[in-house]
Structure 1
């Protein structure tokens, strides 16, 4: 199956998601959060850096649970204008 290239907005949304997750992780180590979410640290690193701009719903749900943030918070924050400062988790 051929994957349709992502639009510029989809790539930007992935970058915003990654930045939000990185911010929510705070001082916790990537290894710890990835383990709590049942992911490899490399998968979490790809999401946080925007190199995996369209992670699956279940992956994001697991990361959100590991970070103790709601999916609703992520949806609202990802839809915000990037010039607005990141939320305080």
Structure 2
């Protein structure tokens, strides 16, 4: 089965998701978070940089658990509505400061 190319909206959502996860990681090392989530550091690096725009749900759920992020917040990040993106980004920044 051939996978359809990702749309510009999906690619943009992947970049937003990656940036949000990077902000939520804060001072924790990429390797520590990846190990705690049960994924490779390279996978986390690809997600954070937007090169892996559509990670598996189980990967996202594991990262959400490790980073103490509600899945609802991650869902909002992936939406195209800029007001929801700003709200979710504010949550990530406040979580990273705690």
Same fold (TM over 0.5): yes
The answer for unaligned runs of 5 or more in structure 2 is none
Cα distance in 2 for partners of 1:49, 1:59 equals 15
**Partner-residue secondary structure (3-state), 2:78:** helix
Higher helix share: 2
Instruction: Output aligned runs, 1:9-88, within 5 Å.
Output: 9-79=9-79, 80-81=81-82, 84=86, 86-87=89-90, 88=94
**Partner-residue secondary structure (3-state), 1:84:** helix
**Partner-residue secondary structure (3-state), 2:4:** coil
- How many residue pairs match? The answer is 89
